[in-house]
Amino acid sequence: MPCTVMRAGLTRMQRLISRPEMPRSAAHTPKEPATYEQALAELDRLVVQMEGGQLPLDELLDGYRRGAELLNYCRGRLQAVEEQVKLLEDGQLKPWVAP
């Protein structure tokens, strides 16, 4: 029985790999998040889904791509905020001291 399941999985994987890449339409292109917090929440959801191990291979790959996009967005927002803080602190980034 395990060999049959393994063969079926390999056959499915071969079909997925040999499938020509379909161009993504504008309807399937994920939009940029409105806020850093929304991006982080979506990234958290993706990580939970991917770590669950129940996604089909194509959805796993799409999730990885989306996660990379969200990670780049979050890094960009953090860098922009850091630059604003530098300006506010007269060009030097100082450690945050909680009140």
Neighbours of 71 (CB within 10 A): 14
Unique residue bearing structure tokens 């996009």: 69
How confident is the model over 73-86, as pLDDT tens digits? 999 999 988 888 88
How confident is the model over 40-97, as pLDDT tens digits? 999 999 999 999 988 899 999 999 999 999 999 999 999 988 888 887 777 776 666 6
Q: Which residue has the higher pLDDT, 85 or 8?
A: 85
Q: pTM for this structure?
A: 0.60
Domain boundaries defined on the chain: 32-90
Rounded distance between C-alpha atoms, residue 72 and residue 33, angstroms:
12
Classify burial at 39, counting beta carbons within 10 Å of its beta carbon; exposed 0-12, middle 13-18, buried 19 or more: buried
Architecture of domain 32-90: Orthogonal Bundle (1.10)
Neighbours of 50 (CB within 10 A): 15
Rounded distance between C-alpha atoms, residue 62 and residue 32, angstroms:
15
